[in-house]
Amino acid sequence: MTTILLPPSETKRAGGSDDAPLNLDGLALPVLAPQREAVVASVVALSSDPVLAAKVLKLSPRQLGEIGVNAAIAAAPTMPAIDRYTGVLFDGLDAATLDGSARRWLGERVLIQTALLGPVGALDPIPSYRLAAGASVPGLGPLKRVWADAVGEAFGALPGLVVDLRSEAYAALGPVPDGVASAYVRVVAEGPDGSVRALNHFNKKSKGLLVRRLAQRRPAIGSIAELVAWAETEGITMRPADRAGEVELVALA
């Protein structure tokens, strides 16, 4: 079995279902409930002090409405996490246009690493919120201190290969333990002369397109070698990187 780890996005769709408020006990990896309760409670409490909240969340004057969004987390409408997030990666994935089988695969295999709730399942219903990986929340401190050990321990039980598509900031909130088979994916561009350079912002689209293809094909992958071999059959260039446990993905159009 393959597990895909995705980062979230700062941008999110508003709205959702009013009939299903956030249920911490119903999220993937329920062992993380204590950390989830602590972070949600602290973020909601922070919203009672708009000046401090704006500073902690690094909000511009035009973004101050996000404080009210955080204040309403517990009772706000929810939607599947894979549909909540927008932005380049999630536009490439375009989960709303996938068929039922592909979406079920996402629900079974994809975890999205959030700052608010830790890793959540792709189909877990979550509210809109504003919180970044690097935030230090009053009463909790840096989020890495809250999440890293607990998430790493939870990841220790993941079967098969973990394909890590998170940014380094979100990977720090939940390191994959050394004993778990994993592939950290870096997106690169190849020049006409064969030179390779890493991509930053534009790597997100390639990651979204890769996960979309995986959801559509649903291959059986249990190792880096099998991931690379499957990619070749799809016309996707992936290869082991110089650092152990890392894989290069040549940018997808």
Per-residue pLDDT reduced to its tens digit, 158-176: 999 999 999 999 999 999 9
With tokens 């690094």, the residue in question is: 58
Spatial neighbors of 56 by CB under 8 A, at least 6 apart, are 46, 135, 136, 137, 138
pLDDT of residue 20: 87
CB atoms within 10 A of CB 98: 17
With tokens 């780890």, the residue in question is: 5
Per-residue pLDDT reduced to its tens digit, 72-82: 999 999 999 99
Tokens describing residue 220: 């059986």
202, 249 contact by CB (below 8 A)? no
pLDDT of residue 196: 67
Share above pLDDT 70 across residues of the chain, in percent, rounded to a whole number:
95
Among the listed residues 179, 172, 112, 129, the one whose alpha carbon sits nearest the alpha carbon of residue 147? 172
